[in-house]
A = this chain, B = another copy of it.
Amino acid sequence: MDITAAYTDLYQITMAQVYFVTKPNGRAVFDYYFRHNPFGSGYSIFAGLEDVLDILDSLKFSDSDISYLKEKGFENEFLEYLKNFSFKGNIRSSKEGDVVFPNRPILQVEANIIEAQIIETLLLNILNFQTLIATKASRIRYSAKDAILLDMGLRRAHATGGYYASRAAAIGGFDSTSNVKAAEDYSIPSTGTMAHAFIQSYNNELEAFRDFARIRPENCVLLIDTYNTLKIGLPNAITVAKEMEERGDKLFGIRLDSGDLAYLSKKARAVLDAAGLQYVKIVVSNQLDEIVIKSLKEQHAPIDVFGVGTNLVTGRPDAALDGVYKLSEFNDAPRIKLSENIIKVSLPFKKQVYRMLDADGMFYGADAVAIYSEGEVSQMEHPFDITKQIDISELEKEPLLELVMEHGKRVAPARTVTEISKYSQSRLDKLPVEYKRFHNPHIYKIGLSSKLKNERNNLINQHKS
A160: chain B residues within 8 A (beta carbon): 1, 3, 125, 159-161, 163-164
Asked if B163 and A65 make an inter-chain contact with CB atoms under 8 angstroms apart, the answer reads no
- Does A180 reach chain B (CB closer than 8 Å)? yes
- Chain A interface extent, by class: 35 or more
Can you tell how many copies of this chain the complex includes?
2
A15: chain B residues within 8 A (beta carbon): 194-195, 197-198, 212
Nearest to A26 among chain B residues (CB) is B201
Contact check: which of B30, B64, B125, B326 meets A157 at CB < 8 Å?
B125
CA distance A197 to B163 in the complex (A): 31
A64: chain B residues within 8 A (beta carbon): 184
Interface centre among A9, A164, A227 (most CB of B within 10 A): A9
Asked if B1 and A194 make an inter-chain contact with CB atoms under 8 angstroms apart, the answer reads no
CA distance A322 to B65 in the complex (A): 35
CA distance A215 to B162 in the complex (A): 40
Contact check: which of B14, B30, B317 meets A197 at CB < 8 Å?
B30
Contact check: which of B19, B163, B193, B226 meets A337 at CB < 8 Å?
B226
A180: chain B residues within 8 A (beta carbon): 6-10, 13, 65, 68-69
Minimum distance in angstroms from A68 CB to a CB of chain B: 4
Chain A 417-433 interface 0/1 with B at a Cβ cutoff of 8 Å (1 = within): 00000000000000000
A68: chain B residues within 8 A (beta carbon): 180, 183-184
Minimum distance in angstroms from A75 CB to a CB of chain B: 9
Contact check: which of B19, B72, B183, B184 meets A190 at CB < 8 Å?
B72
27 CB < 8 A contacts A-B? A1-B181, A3-B181, A9-B178, A9-B180, A10-B192, A11-B195, A15-B197, A15-B198, A30-B197, A65-B181, A69-B180, A117-B195, A125-B162, A128-B156, A129-B157, A157-B158, A158-B159, A158-B165, A160-B160, A196-B326, A196-B337, A200-B336, A227-B338, A310-B320, A310-B322, A314-B319, A317-B319
A14: chain B residues within 8 A (beta carbon): 192, 194, 216
Contact check: which of B121, B154, B216, B259 meets A9 at CB < 8 Å?
B154
- Does A211 reach chain B (CB closer than 8 Å)? yes
- Does A394 reach chain B (CB closer than 8 Å)? no
Give residues 326-357 of A contacting B (CB, 8 Å).
326-327, 330, 335-340, 344
Nearest to A321 among chain B residues (CB) is B156
Interface centre among A69, A184, A193, A316 (most CB of B within 10 A): A184
